[in-house]
Amino acid sequence: MGRAEQLRAATLAVAAAASLAAGWAFLDLIGGNRPTTLDWMRSILLTVTVFWLLWGGLTGILGALAPVRKPLGWTRPKGLTAVLVPIYNEDPVETFARIAAMNRHLVERGLADRFHFAILSDSTSLEVAAEEAAAFELLLREPQAAGRIFYRRRERNVGRKAGNIEDFVARSGGAYEYALILDADSLMEAETIAAMAARMDQDSRLGLLQTVPEVIGAHTVFARMMAFSSSYLSPYFARGMALLQGEQGPYWGHNAIVRVRAFAQCCGLPVLSGKPPYGGHILSHDYVEAALLARGGWKVEVDPELGGSFEHGPENMVEHAKRDRRWCQGNLQHRRLVFAPGLKLWSRFTFVQGIMAYAVSPLWLALLATSILATVFPDRGGIRWDATPLVLGLGVAGALLLPKLAIVIRGAIDGHNRRFGGNLQVALSVLAEIVLSTLIAPVLLAFQSRAVIQILLGLDGGWPATERDARRVPLWTAVKASWWISLLGLAAIAAMTIAAPRYVAWLLPVAGPAVIAPVIIWATSMGDGSWARGRLFTSRAEHAPSPVMAENIRILAAWQNDMPLEVSAAAPEKSHAPA
């Protein structure tokens, strides 16, 4: 048994033992010597939900304790890499400006002959397609673009993004050793791109290498909180994940490089029998492709130390929920693949973990509902000890807070906090993140629970285009999106007030935010990016802006103002030797 397998077994054992102990103790507290059916239901629900809570928390603690490996410097790669950018009704100017920025930096470093760009459009809007063609003309004016930057649009977007990439691999993949797969909102430093391709050169068994993208360009309260989490907290959680997953790591569908031959051999996706949401094309294709590569004997790894990998995230909770609905449907499809032949055991566990990432939300609601029922029918499972809610709350809070506390302490020790404004600013930002995430958690839990229920009822959510620039949500729009959450919160409070008024205070941390869900959605969609700069949720990119980000901003401003494009200050034609 290898190191990763031993660590997995130990971590799973700790999470299982702690959750079983919590469920048994909870059963004893609420049921005494004669637990009822309702008592058993609540205890089982608590055990299952706490297990997944602890599993995530332990991943963060492992990452905080793990040694940090210094990233390898980039070298000139040998293999030819295609940088694939699938797009679907996106803003062409913004997307193509990011490609232009990456291309300029690759050219400046003498790497143009090692990297080609392929823009793979699945856009269904004729207006957007026309804008893409115009933006591509701008892109062709960029340094050394001729013969290196390509664009094609499929008229039939069979298989969506996965089908788009599969189509490229089938038609053109033979010309390339590697493919760097991006999203329309992805941005990467040239050094990172080169380092990833060089890693593929150095390890012939490496089938896929995943980076940990940092969210950039955040403006609203919600987006800045998510950006801070991705920049400060996520690398530690990813470090723990890397230890657990070893050579059977994750693939998140973008900002990752794959070996084209391995991908072509292993990653042909089936079309599931039946109709959506369970049948049809696989939506969350990335998890499946990682599992198929591992089944084929290829290494799938994540490297949290690479850096220089960026993406844009949703600016408000409505857009976040819309994207999350698609991910939920894709993950729940995986229940049909858990027992697919030949898969590694850890790949099967990853499928289950992805399913439970969404299924746990309605389970938390079920625990809340059964607890309310226990107060209405005390003789069938009533709360027999007034401290039970407090004990439960402290346990959940500990599982959520301990990993973040460990990360803050580790950041103070190794100097990581200095990149985010210092220990005090980091502590205040993490505290604000805890408060705000606690406030919005019931709202997101309701959205996820609705998504799971819709899918169980056979409702297909499709693949809606992402409105990446959508920021402020008008209050009336927020009301229309979440009025039902407010009604659920009011109903829970009313039931508890009638049945057991002394427990209303215990319910308020969950039901209270649900009642004011429209206000939370509206308020967290505000901000222009300057309200907390230098104070809260400051990301690493704000303290030390990435060169490719600055290049992207400059190009975008020129294109949007219809100004003639100038090459960057560093002469792009000049070849620079690798460091």
For every residue of 67-88, DSSP letters joined together read PPPPPPPP---SS-EEEEEEES
The type of residue at 555 is I
Backbone angles phi, psi at 246, to 5 degrees: 55, -125
Half-sphere exposure of 256 (CA within 13 A, CB side): 25
pLDDT at 566: 43
Residue 445, Cα to own-chain centre: how many angstroms?
16
Partnered with residue 257 across adjacent β-strands are: 180, 209
Predicted pLDDT of residue 562: 62
Contacts of 540 (CB under 8 A, 6+ apart): 214, 231, 232, 419, 420
Consecutive H or E run containing 289: helix 285-295
What structural domains and CATH numbers belong to the chain? 81-311+547-560 (3.90.550.10)
Q: What 3-state class would DSSP assign to 153?
A: strand
Residue 231: partners with Cβ closer than 8 Å, 6 or more residues away = 214, 215, 420, 539, 540, 541
The pLDDT assigned to 430 comes to 95
Tokens of 29: 């507290």
Q: Say if residue 73 is exposed, middle or buried (CB neighbours under 10 Å; 0-12, 13-18, 19+).
A: exposed
pTM beyond 0.75, yes or no: yes
How far from chain centre, in Å, is Cα 227?
A: 11
pLDDT tens, N- to C-terminus, the chain (579 residues): 678 899 999 999 999 999 998 888 877 776 666 778 888 898 899 999 999 999 999 999 999 998 877 766 778 999 999 999 999 999 999 999 999 999 999 999 999 999 999 999 999 999 999 999 999 999 999 999 999 999 999 988 888 899 999 999 999 999 999 999 999 999 999 999 999 999 999 999 999 999 999 999 888 999 999 999 999 999 999 999 999 999 998 999 999 999 999 999 999 998 999 998 989 989 999 999 999 999 999 999 999 999 899 999 999 999 999 999 999 999 999 999 999 999 999 999 999 999 999 999 999 999 888 887 877 776 554 444 444 556 666 777 778 899 999 999 999 998 889 989 899 999 999 999 999 999 999 999 999 999 999 999 998 876 665 565 567 899 999 999 999 999 999 999 998 888 778 778 888 989 999 999 999 999 999 875 454 455 789 888 777 788 999 999 999 999 987 644 443 333 333 333 333
Cβ partners under 8 Å of residue 535, min gap 6: 425, 428
- Distance, in Å, from the CA atom of 310 to the CA atom of 80, rounded to the nearest integer, reads 22
pLDDT of residue 385: 45
pLDDT at site 396: 73
